[in-house]
Amino acid sequence: MNIRHECPMPDLSFSVAAPLHLHKANGCKVIVTRWSLAGVWLEPDQGDLTGEVILSVPFQGIDVSFPAHLNETQTSGHYTFHELTVRQRETLGAFYKGVMSGQMVSTNDMITSLDTPVDLVPMGETDEEETVGRSKAKPRLLRIIWNTLFYLAAAAFLILFLGGQIWQRLSHVQLDHARFVAPITEYDAPESGYIKRINVAVGDRVMPGDILARIEDPDRESDVEDVRAEVLLAERRLRTAQTRLTQHNLQRKTQHAALTARFQALWAPWAINDPHLLNYPDPIEAARRALYDFERERDINAMTYFNLLSTLEETVNERDLDLRRWKRELRHRKAAADELVVRAKYDGTVFGIYALKGSYVTRDDLVVEVEDNTPRNAVGWVDDSLATSVYIGMTADVAYIFRGQSKRIQGKVTDIQAGTDIAQPDKFGMVITIKADDAGIKKTRKWFRRNAPARIRLKRNLFASWFGGDDERT
């Protein structure tokens, strides 16, 4: 069906006497006083207007201009419009209608003419196009063969593609959110304090018991210093008591010599005159008794030598006990302060350090991460509806990217645990752990970046399941 849009009866329109401006290509302006929707009439002296011109339609003090093409007719001075567009014809028709009716063209009419749709093209083929198309058409037999091969190829592609997808779903179990994990042990701060020292660096090898970091608690360090001051004070007191005791012991010979000299001075005259007397004068007896008691460390009077010696010895013992008590307290306080260290529990390699020397940390703040000396594994998540389809020892195919290249490695399922999906915490299922075959610590650390994505497919043993293999495995 052909659709053609034309202005209403262009050949039957009457001519009007109204100014219509035409601009030639050379810049010359011509005012036409007689025209119609089909064309214009010129005076003999207005020259030749054949070809491209600019047609200006006056509208409320302004000109609406558009290009037009004029063709000369057999009538002298008569030119027709050639291939005007729909909008151009409608605009010219609006001005023509206003002249014919004697009314000014309204703004709405002018806008409507300018908004007229563009020319519509025929929807069907012309006879010439149909003839050209038939001449280019291939023979019927060749088209049949070509179409048959095309549809066969399309069918084969669909069968192989869809069949491959179906076979993959039947023979493999695809794990979701698969990634590589490293056996990382996190070491947190035991108490709040300042990092006094970091004893390791990233990449260092550590053994169980090694000190990774030291933490200094100002309160505990202050307690240690206070107790250490008490220890120093107790040591000075003990030295003072010991010095006094030593000095007092040095006075024993002097006092003994004095008592002996006193007794000899009184006894010597009596020993010559009558050495066999049973009763001696009181001064001699008192001197002898004093020397006798002194030699047997007995004091009659208070605060004499041996009483003072006993007092000094008790003081030394008390000072010694006091020093021992403060030293024990110092050990306890130092032990409490020394507990603020981060020690390695297992052998491994330092993976990360998350505190700086002098920085303040609170209790349970992460300080150091150590990767255990075990190979890195791959983990993935699967819905619990497949709980009877996966088992430990199942073969796995792991695909990953290493240095921009796609790599694949085989592995075995080593652990199956119930857990949530890391991407959907509210969704419960199973976490599958896969260990790569023939890949140790060095290789897995080189190939498998921590938390790097992977694609993991578990291989089902369909034939075993068809012939009762599942029952034997269970």
Residues in the chain: 474
Task: Give long-range contacts, CB 8 A cutoff, 24+ apart: 261-270.
Answer: 262/287, 262/290, 262/291, 263/287, 263/288, 263/290, 263/291
Phi-psi region at 461: left, alpha or beta (left = phi > 0; alpha = psi -120 to 50): beta
Token duo for residue 84 = 């005007």
Per DSSP, the residues of 268-304 read HHHHHH-TT-SS--HHHHHHHHHHHHHHTT--SSTTS
Nearby residues of 28 by Cβ (< 8 Å), 6 or more positions away: 47
What are the extents of the domains in the chain?
A: 10-114, 139-167, 175-183+374-473, 185-215+340-369, 220-322
Does the domain at residues 185-215+340-369 carry the CATH identifier 2.40.50.100?
A: yes
Token pair of 100, please?
């014919």
Smallest CA-to-CA distance from 49 within 13, 81, 11, 89 is with 81
Q: What single-letter amino acid sits at 292?
A: Y
What pLDDT was estimated at residue 451?
86
Decide which of 3.40.50.300, 1.10.3720.10, 2.60.40.10, 2.40.10.220 is the CATH code for 10-114.
2.40.10.220
3-class secondary-structure state, position 375: coil
Radius of gyration of the CA atoms of the chain, in A: 59
Rounded CA separation 376/448 (Å) = 7
CA terminus-to-terminus distance, the chain: 74
pTM for this model (two decimals): 0.45
Structure-block tokens of residue 151:
């549809």
Instruction: Decide the pairing of beta strands 51-59 and 341-343.
Output: unpaired
The token pair that represents 343 in the structure block = 């020690």
Residue-by-residue DSSP string for 439-463? --HHHHHHH--TT-B-EEEEEP-HH
d(CA 105, CA 113): 11
In 3D space, the residue among 336, 319, 24, 350 whose CA is nearest the CA of residue 205 turns out to be: 350
pLDDT tens string 325-344: 888 888 877 777 666 788 89
Write the DSSP symbol of residue 386.
Answer: G
The confidence score (pLDDT) of residue 361 equals: 87
Strand pairing class (341-343; 366-372):
unpaired
Helix, strand or coil, per DSSP, at residue 402: strand
For CA atoms 85, 89, 90, 92, the dihedral sign is positive
pLDDT in tens, 174-192: 888 889 988 889 999 888 8
Compute, in degrees rounded to 10, the torsion defined by CA atoms 129, 132, 133, 137.
170
**pLDDT for the residue numbered 369:** 92
| pLDDT tens, per residue, the chain with 474 residues | 344 444 445 555 677 777 777 777 777 777 777 777 778 777 777 777 777 877 777 766 667 777 877 777 877 777 787 777 777 777 777 777 777 776 666 666 666 665 555 544 455 556 666 666 666 666 777 878 888 888 888 888 887 777 766 766 667 788 888 899 888 899 998 888 888 889 999 989 999 989 889 887 777 767 778 888 888 998 898 888 888 878 767 666 676 677 777 777 776 676 666 656 566 677 777 777 777 666 666 655 434 666 777 787 888 888 889 888 888 888 877 777 666 788 898 899 998 999 888 888 888 889 999 989 889 999 988 887 887 888 898 889 999 998 888 899 999 999 988 887 776 777 788 898 999 988 888 888 888 888 888 998 888 876 555 445 444 343
What CATH architecture does domain 175-183+374-473 belong to? Beta Barrel (2.40)
- DSSP tag of 393: T
- Taking Cα atoms as reference points, which of 292, 302, 305, 290 lies closest to residue 245? 305
